[in-house]
Each structure stands twice: as C-alpha cells, then as structure tokens.
Amino acid sequence: MTITHLARRVAVVVTATALLSLTACGDDDPASSGNQSETKKIAITFAGDTVTPNGERVDVAVGQKIELDVTADSAGEIHVHSNPEQELEYDEGSTTLTLDPIEQPGVVDVESHHLEQTIVQLEVK
Ligand SMILES: [Cu+2]
C-alpha cells in the first residue's frame, strides 16, 4: 500500500463518518448482525462518479458468505482489502459477485479504486 493510498483512505473515512452522522441512516440494528448460515447480501449501485453505499459499516460473521449485488452504469472493479486481497470485476448492468469468505476478524474495506471511494467497511467478527 502506498502513502497516497493511505492518505486518501483517511480522507475518505473522515468524509464518510461526517456523512453518516448527518444522515443517521445505515445498518445500526444490533439484531441484524452475524448469522453465519445466511448469505450477507449487499446491494451496491454505481452511477456516474458516485457509489451507494458510501463508507457504511456492515456486520458480517467470520466465514460468512458475502454476495455483492452490483448495479452499474459502466463496468469496473471492486477491491476488497481482505487477506489475501480480492479484486472483483463487474459489468455494466447487474452483476452478482461472491466474495471468498473472510476468515479473520477485523474491519475490511471494500473500495472502488476508480472512484477512490470506500463502498462499505465489512466489520468481520
Ligand atoms: Cu484498495
């Protein structure tokens, strides 16, 4: 990881935090976290130079199946900062991406490097 990558991520996190505290939306229901037998489905929409969600935290269980349901106006790539990292390509239109299960607890950033934005932060526990 480069210094600029790090610095950019700090900026993105600060922005995302400010937005979240303004809108108070998002998945803050404690009952919705961590059922490992269910597939965690995350809907992601790319439109122009925006992406939704935008830095939101999502709880997942260690080893849980994770599916990204992507809707996009042009093809691109999602970068998952798990260990090992995962790069997932999507097409214009609707694409369902399945992540390799994440076996280490921690926070995993899911990013669009093209947009330089954090899409979600997976809180793995
Ligand atoms: Cu990255």
Residue 8 buriedness (CB in 10 A; 0-12 / 13-18 / 19+): middle
pLDDT at 15: 52
Distance CA 93, CA 45 (A): 10
The overall average pLDDT reported for the chain is: 83
Q: What is the pLDDT of residues 19-38, one digit of tens each?
A: 444 444 444 444 445 456 79
Distance, CA 11 to ligand 1 centroid (Å)? Answer: 14
Distance, CA 4 to ligand 1 centroid (Å)? Answer: 11
Q: What pTM value is reported for the model?
A: 0.71
Asked if 51 contacts 45 with a C-beta cutoff of 8 angstroms, the reply is yes
Percentage of residues in the chain with pLDDT exceeding 90?
Answer: 70
More confident residue, 22 or 58: 58
pLDDT at 37: 79
Distance CA 73, CA 92 (A): 5
Residues near ligand 1 ion, CB 5 Å cutoff: 79, 111
Distance, CA 111 to ligand 1 centroid (Å)? Answer: 6
